[in-house]
Amino acid sequence: MIEVTGLTKRYGRKVAVNDLSFTVRPGVVTGFLGPNGAGKSTTMRMMLDLDNPTSGSVKIDGKHYRELSEPLKHIGALLEAKAMHGGRSAYNNLLCLAQSNRIPASRITEVLDMVGLTSVAKGKSKGFSMGMGQRLGIASALLGDPEILMFDEPVNGLDPEGIHWIRNLMKGLATEGRTVFVSSHLMSEMALTADHLIVIGQGRLLANTSMADFIHENSRSFTRLRSPDRERVKDALDEAGITAVEGTGGVLEIDGVEPERLGELAARHGIVLHELSSQRASLEEAFMRMTAESVEYHAHTGPDGGGAPATGWGSPGWGTPAGGGNDQGKGA
Ligand SMILES: Nc1ncnc2c1ncn2[C@@H]1O[C@H](COP(=O)(O)OP(=O)(O)OP(=O)(O)O)[C@@H](O)[C@H]1O
């Protein structure tokens, strides 16, 4: 378990991390999300004692990182790919880490095998591709067989097979009861991997909630209905007191009514339907909606400034974000 309490980091006048408090629990994969510059890496560095907090604290299984005698046996981290000694072989890089933490050399062979680098174990790591460097970083995180694992952008540089592998690895580690904390900008990947989310913006906590609740609370869900008999559908809906919004291509969008009820209503009126489907926004849309106000670096790609998601944004029925995007500790 990782406990973060009142964590703050200032660089001069810049507040990179602003009074963050949350707990990362074992047994699930916890995703760490935030726009560029939100303070994710700074938070992770402070968790590993690589940076001193201005105030507040981080406890790793109840202890400060500095109090852990052989830290790699408690917490393993992938912070920056290729943070290894380029002139050393993959094996020797891991050997140095193993020796400083009294980890048997046999474990090096095991982790190299786990990450698929056995055949290049003797190769100097400076010749490694980005994906190989990432795998070596992951091997170093796993070396001490720790209960807590932290991965900063682990899928960077990995090919689809590698992404699939790291996803299953993280899920497997959580299933074993370990604490897995992972940051990524790849929302589709995060949606497949994480069970719980910590979201920050401009150093502040925006959400601490389950993946399902985060998407549910920050997105519009509706039922999409398409029929060759649209006018009769509209009459039937009117009669039943159900409001429909006209979407593109003759589609009707209905908020807050399950497809089952709509299907039964259509059947009662003998109306043919060509489509009846539940629409749920993606994690990416929910994330952009929640963090819209705390994005520091915008690309101005169009009249709207490029800050809004393409789908659903601003369409009828899409309400204001709960708590104006600042609902701290929601659902915790
Ligand atoms: N050593 C430093 N000196 C000054 N400012 C810093 C330093 N490290 C980080 N910052 C600033 O603190 C803020 C948080 O940076 P950080 O790298 O933690 O964000 P991040 O969420 O990891 O961003 P990204 O997603 O782009 O990696 C940024 O505004 C950054 O410019």
Is 203:18 a contact under the CB 8 Å cutoff? Answer: yes
Nearest CA to ligand 1 atom 4: 11
Helices 130-142 and 90-100 sit at what angle, rounded to 10 degrees?
Answer: 20
Q: What is the pLDDT of residues 73-132, one digit of tens each?
A: 999 999 875 466 767 788 998 998 899 889 999 999 999 999 999 988 887 777 788 888
Fold adopted by 221-280: Alpha-Beta Plaits (3.30.70)
ipTM over 0.95: yes
Q: Which residues make up the CATH 3.40.50.300 domain(s) of the chain?
A: 2-210
The CATH number assigned to the domain with range 2-210 reads 3.40.50.300
Ramachandran region, residue 150 (left: φ > 0; alpha: ψ -120 to 50; beta: rest): beta
Does ligand 1 come within 6 angstroms of the Cβ of 330? no
Nearest CA to ligand 1 atom 30: 37
Residue ID of nearest Cα to ligand 1 atom 6: 11
Residue 34 Cβ contacting ligand 1 at under 6 Å: yes
Q: Give 201's contacts (C-beta < 8 A, 6+ positions apart).
A: 34, 35, 38, 290, 291, 293, 294, 295, 325
Prediction pTM value: 0.79
Which ligand 1 atom minimizes the distance to the CA of 34?
21
Q: Does the C-beta of 36 come closer than 6 Å to ligand 1? A: yes
Q: How high does pLDDT run on average in the chain?
A: 85
Rounded-to-integer distance, Cα 195 and Cα 274, Å: 34
* Atom in ligand 1 nearest the alpha carbon of residue 51: 1
Two tokens, residue 162: 């590698």
Regarding the beta carbon of 52 and ligand 1, being less than 6 Å apart is answered: no
Tens of pLDDT, residues 215-272: 888 877 789 999 999 999 999 999 999 999 998 888 999 988 999 999 999 999 999 9
The full length of the chain comes to 332
Per-residue burial over 28-50, b if 16 or more Cβ lie within 10 Å, else e, is bbbbbbbbebbbbbbbbbbbebe
φ and ψ of 199, to 5 deg: -115, 130
| The ligand 1 atom nearest the CA atom of 45 | 18
